[in-house]
Amino acid sequence: MMARALELAGKGLYSTTPNPRVGCVIAQGETVVGEGWHEKAGGPHAEVVALGQAGAQAAGATLYVNLEPCNHQGRTPPCVDLIQKNKIHRVVAAMVDPNPQAAHGGAKLAAAGIGFEHGLMEEEARELNVGFVSRMTRGRPWVRMKIAATLDGRTALADGRSQWITGAEARKDGHRHRESRRPTADRTRRGDAAPAAARPGRQPPRNSGSGKNYRRRECLDFLRR
C-alpha cells in the first residue's frame, strides 16, 4: 500500500513545488477503497482526495501516506481533522513531516485514539522529496550537479567542435532533474508542463546569449531559489 502511495505521490513531481509530493491510499484490509495525490500548491491534499473517494468506507480503515498528515491551517485546512472526522482507525506514514509548521500531526491523531506509525519505506519517501526535506532541515535547496567531460577534462575537440559527450539516457536524466526544479513560466501558461526530456527530439530552450553566460545565469538563478 505504501508503494502505491509513493507511486501516486510521484505524479506531482513537476507540479507541487514548493509543496512536497504526497500520495495516499485508504484500505479496508487488502482492499483499496480510496486513493489520491497532491496535484499542486493550494489544491486538495492527497488525504483529502483519498477520503473523498472512500466516502463512508473510510470508517475503520487504514490510511497509508508517504508524509505525516499536516496539522496546521495553511491554504487548506489540517488533514488530521478530516481524518478524525472520517473515523480512520489507523494511519501509517512513511516519514514524519520536517516542516515545523505542519508537523506533529501523528501526535494529534494518537491523542485522538487513532493508531499512528511511521518509518515504512522512509528512505524512498525522503528521496522523493529530497529538496523539500533539505529546505525544511537545512534552510537551503538540494542541488544536483551534472558535469559531462572527457577523460582529459575537455568539453570540446581541439578545433572547437563540440557535441554531446553523454548518451541519450544521461541527457534525459539531466533534463528531468532540471525541469522538476525549474518549470518555465511560458510552458506553465500554455499548460504544457511535461518535461522537455519527455518530448523526443526537443531540446530545452536556450538563451540568445552565449552558452557560457547562459549556463552561469541559469546556475545563479537556481541557487537563489
Query: What pLDDT digit, counting tens, does each position of 133-170 carry?
Result: 999 999 998 887 777 777 787 777 778 777 777 888 88
Q: Are residues 116 and 151 in the same domain?
A: no
Confidence of residue 86 (pLDDT cuts 50, 70, 90): very high
Of 65, 83, 41, the residue nearest 122 (C-alpha): 65
Of 138, 173, 191, at which residue does a domain stop? 138
Q: Are residues 14 and 92 in the same domain?
A: yes
Q: What pLDDT does 216 receive?
A: 52
**99, pLDDT greater than 70:** yes
Q: Are residues 124 and 216 in the same domain?
A: no
Mean pLDDT in the chain?
83
Q: Structural domain tally of the chain?
A: 2
Mean pLDDT of 178-202: 48
131-to-76, 85, 95, 221 alpha-carbon distances in Å: 22, 32, 15, 16
Q: HEC profile for 151-176?
A: CCCCCCCCCCCCCCCCCHHHHHHHHH
**Residue scoring higher pLDDT (143 or 95):** 95
Q: Are residues 41 and 152 in the same domain?
A: no
Q: Are residues 65 and 96 in the same domain?
A: yes
**Residue scoring higher pLDDT (77 or 204):** 77
Provide the 3-class DSSP secondary structure of residue 62.
strand
Task: For 14-67, write each residue's pLDDT tens digit.
Answer: 899 899 999 999 999 999 999 999 999 999 999 999 999 999 999 999 999 999
Q: Are residues 160 and 134 in the same domain?
A: no
Q: What pLDDT does 145 receive?
A: 77
76-85, 139-148, 183-192 — which is least confidently predicted? Answer: 183-192
Confidence of residue 221 (pLDDT cuts 50, 70, 90): low
Q: Are residues 219 and 126 in the same domain?
A: no
Cα(94)–Cα(89) distance, rounded to whole angstroms? 17
Q: Are residues 32 and 119 in the same domain?
A: yes
Cα(216)–Cα(225) distance, rounded to whole angstroms? 15
Q: What pLDDT does 134 receive?
A: 95
Q: Are residues 89 and 22 in the same domain?
A: yes
Q: Is the pTM of this model over 0.75?
A: no
Mean pLDDT of 124-129: 96
Q: What pLDDT does 180 receive?
A: 60
Q: What pLDDT does 195 receive?
A: 45
Q: Are residues 25 and 92 in the same domain?
A: yes
Residues 47, 117, 124, 169: which is the catalytic one?
A: 47
Q: Are residues 92 and 30 in the same domain?
A: yes
Of 122, 138, 154, at which residue does a domain stop? 138
13-22, 118-127, 185-194, 202-211 — which is least confidently predicted? Answer: 202-211
CATH of the domain at 129: 3.40.140.10
Task: For 174-186, write each residue's pLDDT tens digit.
Answer: 777 776 655 444 4
> Is 47 an annotated catalytic residue?
yes
- Which range of residues forms the domain containing residue 212? 143-225
Cα(144)–Cα(196) distance, rounded to whole angstroms? 18
Q: Are residues 116 and 26 in the same domain?
A: yes
Of 123, 138, 153, at which residue does a domain stop? 138
